[in-house]
C-alpha cells in the first residue's frame, strides 16, 4: 500500500531529533497559550512566523501546527478547572466540564477530554493522510476558472458558516482582498495602493496585518474590562475513569470525531463550529438531556473529540488546495510562502517530506500532549495565576520585535499599530476580522486566476459557467449564500450560535 | 431619542465600509483599467470596490428604519464614551515608539520604552513591576533575538553611541 510507504517516509522525517524537538516546543507552547486566557493561537503563530525563517520548512510547519492543536488541549484544561475557556473552541467544554469539576470529578473530566482529543486527533490525522493526496491529484487537473471558482466557494462558505452578519462578513472578505492586492501588480509592475511609498511596494505585510488585528487589537479588547480574576482551582484527583464512564463516553467520542473531521474540512469550520455542533447533537440524542449543563460527561467527550478532529482536518484544504479554512491556516500558508514554497496541490507531490512529515508529527504531537496534559496538570494550573496585567506588555514587546524582524523595516511596525486600531474598531462594530484575513491571503491568488481565466476565454466571463466543475462550485457558492440569507434559516442560525 | 436609526452599529459599519469602498475606488481610478481579456491593474480592484460599496449600503440600510424608534437596544449602541480610549492610545503609542526608536536608539531602549508604555495601559500599573517587566523583556530579547537568533539588530543605536 502506497499510504504505508508514505507514512513511513513521514515518520522518518518526523522522528529526527530536531523535528521531535520542534514538535515538542510547538505542543508545549500550544498548551501554554491554550491555558493562558487572552492569548490565542493566531497571535502566537504570527509572533513566531519570523522566527521560523531560520528553520527548515518541515520543522517550522511541524512546530506551528503543534501550537494549533496543542492550544485545543490546553484550552479545555482551564475550561474544566476554572470555567474560563482559554480558547473559543472550548467554550462548550466549560459548560459541563466545570460542573463536573465542582462535583469533585475534575480528574474524570480532564481524562475524558484528553482521551477524546487523542482519539479524535489520531483518527482525523489518518483521514488527512488518506484523503489529502487524491484531493490534490484532482486539484492538479484544475484550470484557472476552476481555481477561481474554488476560491470563491471557499470564501463564501467561510462566511456562511461563521457567526454574525453574513453581509458584513462578505464586506470584510472583499476588504481583505482589496488590502491583499496592495503592492506591485504582478503583470505590469504598477504599484497599487502604495501612496507612493517605496516601503509599501511589496504590499502590506501579512504578519503585520495579522498581528495588528489579532494581537494588538485583542489586547485592547481584553483591557476593556480588567476584572480581578480570582482563581479558585479545584483539586484534581482521580484521573482514572470508571467502567460506567468509559461506556458513556465511547459513543460521544466516535460521533464527535466524525462530525469534527467533516466540519473541519469546510472553510470557516475548524474547531469552533465542530465543538458547538457536537454538543447540541449529544444533547439531542441523549436519553437524559436534563443532565446536560449539570455535569454530563458526554457534554465533555463529544465537543472535545470534535474540536480536536476539526483542528486536524482543517489542514486538508490548506495542504492540498492552498486554501485556508480559518485564520490559523491562513498563517500556515503565510509560513509556507515565507519558506519559498508555493501552497497548492503541488505540495503533496513535490514536497513529500514536508507533507508526510507534518502528518506523522501530528501523531507524535498528540501523544506528547496526553503526557503533557494529564500528569503535569499541576504546572498548568499554577500558570493560571499569572495576571494579565503582567502578561500583556510582554506580548506587545514580542509583537513589536516579531513584526520588525520580518523585513527589518519599521513600516511593518507602523502597519501593525494601524491595524491594531482597525481590528479593535471592527470588533466594536461587530465586524468579524477573521474573514478579512482570509480575503487578504486569498486575494492575490484570486486575481491572478481571474486574469488567467479571462485571458484563456478571450474575455468571455461565461467561461466560469460553461465549464462543469467551475459551474458546480460557483452554483454551490450561490446556493450557500441564498440559503444563509433566507429569513427562516437566518433565524435558526442565530439561535444555533447563541447556544 | 427618536431617530430613524434602528441600530447605530450597523449604520456606523455601513458608513465605514462605504467610505473605504469610495477610497479604494478613488485609488483604483488612477490605475490602468485594461479590458476583460487582458485586465489592467485597476480592473479587479475597481470591481471589488464597487462590490464593497454595495455591501456597505446594504449594511447601512439595514440599520435604518422608516418608523421612528424610541430607544435603541443596548447591544446595538456603539458606546464611544465607554471605549477604552486610554489603553487604546497607549498601546498604539507603545508600538509606534518602538517603530520610531528601533533604528536610531537600537533594540534595548526601544523595547524598554514600548513595554513600559504598555504597562501604563493597565489600571493596575505599578512603577516597580513596570520597570521590572521592561528590564526582563529587554534582557530576554537581547538573549533570544540578538544572541540566540543572531538578528542584525544593534542593542544600542547610532544615537546612543552604537552602530
Say if residue A88's pLDDT is above 80: no
Least confident of A102-116, B69-83, B143-157: B69-83
- Please state, as a whole number, how many other Cβ atoms lie within 10 Å of the Cβ of residue A9: 16
Tens-place pLDDT, residues A39-71: 778 888 887 887 787 788 889 999 999 998 888
Cα A497 to Cα A141: distance, rounded to the nearest angstrom: 38
Cβ of B59 and A392 within 8 Å? no
CA distance A99 to chain B (A): 29
Joined together, the cell numbers standing for residue A268 give 470557516
Q: Give pLDDT, residue A238.
A: 65
Per-residue model confidence (pLDDT) at position A488:
57
Q: Do A404 and B31 touch (CB under 8 A)?
A: no
CA dist B38 and A147 (Å) reads: 18
**Spatial CB neighbours of B156, under 8 Å, sequence gap ≥ 6:** B105, B106, B108, B109, B162
CA of A194: which chain B residue's CA is closest? B27
Rounded CA-CA distance A373/A72 in Å is 11
Which of B27, B37, B87 is closest, CB to CB, to A454?
B37
Distance CA A330, CA A332 (A): 5
A167 and B55 within 8 Å at the Cβ level: the answer is: yes
Contact flag B41-A185 (C-beta cutoff 8 Å): yes
Nearest to A302 by CA among A234, A237, A351, A248: A248
Q: Which of A181, A389, A421 sits opposite B45 (nearest CB)?
A: A181
| Cβ A187 vs Cβ B79: under 8 Å | no
Question: Could you tell me if the ipTM is greater than 0.85?
Answer: yes
Task: Decide if pLDDT at A414 tops 90.
Answer: yes
- What phi, psi does B65 have (nearest 5°)? -145, 155
pLDDT of A495 strictly over 80: no
Residue in B13, B31, B98 closest to A168 by CB:
B13
Q: Which of A174, A195, A199 to mutate to test binding with chain B, by most B CBs within 10 Å of its CB?
A: A174
Alpha-carbon distances, residue B16 vs A410, A458, B8 (angstroms):
28, 37, 12
Looking at every residue in chain A, the average pLDDT score rounds to: 83
Answer yes or no: do B44 and A447 touch at CB < 8 A: yes
Residue A167 and residue A289: Cα distance in Å, rounded? 35
Check B114 against A397: CB less than 8 A apart: yes
Q: What is the largest CA-CA distance in chain B?
A: 68
By Cβ distance, the residue of A177, A389, A396 closest to B94 is A396
CB contact under 8 A, B137 and A397: yes
Residue identified by cell 458584513 is A168
User: Taking CB atoms and an 8 Å cut-off, how many pairs form between chains A and B?
Assistant: 183
Angstrom distance (rounded) from CA A178 to CA B51: 11
> Coil, helix or strand for B31?
coil
What is the pLDDT, as a whole number, of residue A420? 93
Give me the pLDDT at residue A163, please: 65
Rg of chain A in Å (alpha carbons): 22
Integer Cα distance of A157 and A336 in angstroms: 23
Q: So where are chain B's domains?
A: 3-81, 85-160
For chain A, domain boundaries? 2-147+204-421
Tell me how far apart the terminal alpha carbons of chain B are, to the nearest angstrom: 61
Q: DSSP character for B36?
A: S
Query: Which of A3-12, A53-62, A187-196, B130-139 is modeled with the greatest confidence?
Result: B130-139
Residue in A167, A223, A454 closest to B58 by CB: A167
Please tell me if residue B62 touches chain A, with a CB cutoff of 8 Å. yes
DSSP string, A65-121: HHHHHHHHHHHHHHHHHHS--SSGGGHHHHHHHHHHHHTT-HHHHHHHHHHHHHHHH
Reading the block at residue A85, the C-alpha cell is 475557556
Query: What chain A residue is nearest to B120 in terms of C-alpha separation?
Result: A393
Sorting pLDDT into bands at 50, 70 and 90, what band is A264? confident
Average pLDDT over residues A488-494: 60
- Mean pLDDT on A15-25: 90
Are B122 and A226 inside 8 Å of each other by CB? yes
Give the pLDDT band (50/70/90) at residue A435: confident
- pLDDT (tens digit, 9 = 90+) per residue, B81-112? 778 888 899 999 999 999 999 888 888 899 99
Tell me, yes or no, if B148 comes closer than 8 A to chain A by beta carbon: no
Write the pLDDT tens digit of every residue in A297-313.
Answer: 888 888 888 888 888 88
Instruction: Give which of A31, A10, A43 is closest to A419, Cα–Cα.
Output: A43
- On whether the CB atoms of residues B115 and A396 are closer than 8 A, the answer is yes
**Could you identify the residue written with the cell 501612496?**
A195
Helix (H, G, I), strand (E, B) or coil at B162: coil
Q: Are B67 and A193 in contact (CB under 8 A)?
A: no
User: Which 20-49 residues of chain B touch chain A by CB within 8 A?
Assistant: 20, 24, 27-28, 31-32, 35-42, 44-45, 48-49
For an interface test with A, which of B90, B91, B140 has the most A Cβ atoms less than 10 Å from its Cβ?
B91
Least Cα distance to A378 among A107, A115, A180 occurs for: A107
Give the model confidence (pLDDT) of B40-68 as tens digits.
888 999 999 999 999 999 999 888 877 76
Q: Mean pLDDT over all residues of chain B? A: 85
Give Cβ neighbours of residue A64 (< 8 Å, ≥ 6 apart): A26, A45, A48, A49, A52, A331, A332, A335
- pLDDT at site B74: 66
Q: What is the pLDDT of residues B110-127, one digit of tens each?
A: 999 999 999 998 888 888
Strand partners, B69: B3
> pLDDT-based confidence at B7, cuts 50/70/90?
confident
Of A181, A393, A458, the CB nearest to B37: A458
DSSP 8-state symbol, B6? S
Chain B closest-CA separation from residue A152 CA (Å):
13
- Residue B160 has a pLDDT of 74
Amino acid at each position: 500500500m502506497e499510504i504505508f510507504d508514505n507514512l513511513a517516509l513521514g515518520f522518518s522525517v518526523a522522528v529526527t531529533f530536531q523535528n521531535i524537538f520542534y514538535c515538542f516546543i510547538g505542543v508545549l507552547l500550544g498548551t501554554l497559550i491554550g491555558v493562558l486566557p487572552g492569548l490565542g493561537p493566531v497571535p502566537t503563530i504570527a509572533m513566531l512566523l519570523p522566527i521560523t525563517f531560520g528553520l527548515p520548512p518541515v520543522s517550522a510547519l511541524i512546530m506551528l501546527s503543534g501550537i494549533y492543536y496543542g492550544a485545543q488541549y490546553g484550552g479545555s484544561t482551564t475550561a474544566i478547572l476554572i470555567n474560563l475557556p482559554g480558547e473559543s473552541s472550548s467554550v462548550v467544554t466549560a459548560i459541563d466540564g466545570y460542573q463536573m469539576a465542582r462535583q469533585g470529578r475534575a480528574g474524570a473530566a480532564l481524562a475524558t477530554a484528553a482521551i477524546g482529543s487523542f482519539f479524535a486527533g489520531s483518527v482525523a490525522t489518518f483521514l488527512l493522510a488518506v484523503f489529502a493526496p487524491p484531493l490534490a491529484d484532482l486539484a492538479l487537473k484544475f484550470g484557472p476558472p476552476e481555481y477561481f471558482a474554488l476560491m470563491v466557494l471557499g470564501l463564501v462558505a467561510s462566511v456562511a458558516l461563521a457567526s454574525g452578519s453574513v453581509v458584513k462578513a462578505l464586506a470584510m472578505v472583499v476588504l481583505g482582498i482589496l488590502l491583499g492586492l496592495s503592492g506591485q501588480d504582478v503583470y505590469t509592475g504598477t504599484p497599487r495602493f502604495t501612496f507612493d511609498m517605496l516601503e509599501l511596494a511589496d504590499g502590506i505585510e501579512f504578519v503585520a496585518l495579522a498581528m495588528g488585528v489579532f494581537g494588538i487589537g485583542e489586547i485592547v479588547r481584553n483591557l476593556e474590562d480588567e476584572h480581578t480574576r480570582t482563581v479558585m482551582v479545584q483539586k484534581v484527583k482521580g484521573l482514572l475513569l470508571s467502567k460506567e464512564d468509559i461506556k458513556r463516553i465511547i459513543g460521544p467520542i466516535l460521533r464527535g470525531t466524525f462530525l469534527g473531521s467533516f466540519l473541519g474540512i469546510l472553510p470557516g469550520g475548524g474547531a469552533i463550529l465542530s465543538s458547538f455542533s457536537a454538543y447540541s447533537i449529544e444533547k439531542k440524542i441523549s436519553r437524559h438531556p436534563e443532565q446536560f449543563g449539570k455535569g454530563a460527561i458526554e457534554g465533555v467527550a463529544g465537543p472535545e473529540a470534535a474540536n480536536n478532529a476539526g483542528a486536524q482536518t482543517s489542514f486538508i484544504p490548506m495542504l492540498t488546495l492552498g486554501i485556508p479554512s480559518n485564520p490559523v491556516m491562513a498563517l500556515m500558508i503565510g509560513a509556507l510562502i515565507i519558506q519559498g514554497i508555493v501552497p497548492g496541490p503541488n505540495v503533496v507531490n513535490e514536497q513529500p517530506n514536508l507533507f508526510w512529515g507534518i502528518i506523522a508529527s501530528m501523531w507524535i504531537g498528540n501523544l506528547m500532549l496526553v503526557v503533557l496534559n494529564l500528569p503535569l496538570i499541576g504546572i498548568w494550573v499554577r500558570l493560571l495565576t499569572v495576571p494579565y496585567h503582567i502578561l500583556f506588555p510582554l506580548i506587545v514587546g514580542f509583537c513589536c520585535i516579531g513584526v520588525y524582524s520580518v523585513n527589518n523595516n519599521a513600516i511593518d511596525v507602523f502597519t501593525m499599530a494601524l491595524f491594531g486600531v482597525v481590528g479593535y474598531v471592527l470588533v466594536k462594530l461587530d465586524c468579524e476580522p477573521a474573514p478579512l484575513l482570509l480575503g487578504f491571503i486569498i486575494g492575490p491568488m484570486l486575481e491572478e486566476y481571474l486574469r488567467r481565466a479571462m485571458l484563456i476565454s478571450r474575455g468571455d466571463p461565461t467561461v466560469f459557467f460553461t465549464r462543469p466543475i467551475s459551474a458546480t462550485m460557483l452554483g454551490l457558492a450561490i446556493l450557500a449564500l441564498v440559503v444563509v440569507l433566507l429569513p427562516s434559516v437566518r433565524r435558526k442560525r442565530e439561535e444555533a450560535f447563541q447556544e | 431619542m427618536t431617530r430613524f436609526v434602528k441600530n447605530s452599529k450597523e449604520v456606523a459599519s455601513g458608513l465605514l465600509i462605504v467610505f473605504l469602498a469610495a477610497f479604494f475606488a478613488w485609488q483604483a481610478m488612477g490605475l490602468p483599467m485594461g479590458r476583460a481579456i487582458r485586465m489592467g491593474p485597476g480592473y479587479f480592484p475597481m470591481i471589488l470596490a464597487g462590490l464593497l460599496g454595495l455591501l456597505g449600503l446594504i449594511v447601512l440600510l439595514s440599520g435604518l428604519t422608516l418608523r421612528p424608534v424610541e430607544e435603541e437596544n443596548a447591544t446595538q449602541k456603539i458606546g464611544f464614551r465607554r471605549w477604552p480610549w486610554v489603553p487604546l492610545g497607549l498601546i498604539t503609542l507603545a508600538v509606534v515608539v518602538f517603530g520610531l526608536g528601533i533604528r536610531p536608539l537600537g533594540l534595548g531602549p526601544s523595547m524598554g520604552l514600548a513595554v513600559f508604555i504598555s504597562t501604563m495601559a493597565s489600571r493596575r500599573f505599578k512603577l516597580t513591576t513596570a520597570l521590572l517587566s521592561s528590564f526582563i523583556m529587554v534582557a530576554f530579547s537581547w538573549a533570544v533575538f540578538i544572541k540566540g537568533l543572531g538578528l542584525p539588530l544593534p542593542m544600542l543605536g547610532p544615537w546612543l553611541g552604537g552602530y
